[in-house]
Structure 1
Amino acid sequence: MQRGSNPIGPRQDDQRKHELQGYLKSGQSTHAEDFHDPEPPADDDPAAGSAHGSLQTEIARHLGRAAFPTDTAGLLSALEEAHAPGELVDNLRRLPQDGRYKTAADVSRALGESAA
């Protein structure tokens, strides 16, 4: 049993989590004042407005550094194990079968995208 300075017991804590679950999943702000919310991305933000910038970011996000260096088969296998979105896996299926990659930027370049 957890001991600490929490005045709410475990049962009440679980009940409150259940009550707030819908609100937290709604996508609405959970802050009482607007200035606490992060600003939306700008129209000229490369990650938001550029398909190749987001491709490189998505590859890095789902694989991390430990996946590199690798080949095309290793990339596809690692993405499937990481439960990456199907669209990302489909993009990487366009890679040459004999390709070797040291970074996510190498993968992006191999797909004909400029590295962001």
Structure 2
Amino acid sequence: MPDKSDKHGPRLDDEIGHETEGMVRGGHSTHAEEFKETEPYSGDAAWDPTAPGGDPREGSPPGMSARDVEGRSALARLLTGVRYPARPDELVAHASGEGAPDEAVGALETLPDRDYENLADVAEELGYGRESRRF
């Protein structure tokens, strides 16, 4: 028993099939607008925010190493709340009051006696790199 699901008849079905063959078998999308197309599937593993980063220098500004950035960050945490310009004795007193390690206080005691304008000025005097201008 023939299938009665065709609307047009065999000849017209063949003609319509021939007209749409390029869209059905073509290697391109049949959508006119790009936003209607599905996004390609990525075989990569999902991003894990707890995974360790790749390159340790990533995120280091020009002119500074990753170790310089870590040291300057520790120094910034240690000297949080200092009002600049500051003299070395003020920096030492603040660090001692915050319970800083003896080696950090000792490093601050070696600073030359002058006014320091900001944390970058102190960090540069302690031997950390200073970031180059990015612009």
TM range (shorter): 0.5 to 0.7
Paired-residue identity, %? 25
- Unaligned segments of structure 2, at least 5 residues: 1-47
Asked if the contact 1:55/1:88 (under 8 Å) is kept, the reply is: no
Which structure 2 residues correspond to residues 8-87 of structure 1 after superposition, within 5 A? 35=48, 37=50, 39-41=51-53, 42-45=55-58, 46=60, 49-50=66-67, 52-87=68-103
Amino acid at match of 2:78: H
* TM-score, L = length of structure 2: 0.47
Asked if the contact 2:85/2:117 (under 8 Å) is kept, the reply is: yes
* TM-score, L = length of structure 1: 0.54
Inter-partner Cα distance in structure 2 for 1:48 and 1:65: 26
> 2:125 aligned to 78, 101, 110, which one?
110
Q: Deviations over 1:53-86 (max 9, x none)?
A: 2232122112224432210000000000011122
**Root-mean-square deviation (Å):** 2.7
Inter-partner Cα distance in structure 1 for 2:100 and 2:119: 14
* Greater Rg over alpha carbons, structure: 2
Inter-partner Cα distance in structure 1 for 2:52 and 2:97: 31
Asked if the contact 2:84/2:118 (under 8 Å) is kept, the reply is: yes
Inter-partner Cα distance in structure 2 for 1:113 and 1:40: 25
Question: Which structure has greater helix proportion?
Answer: 1
Q: How many residues align?
A: 80
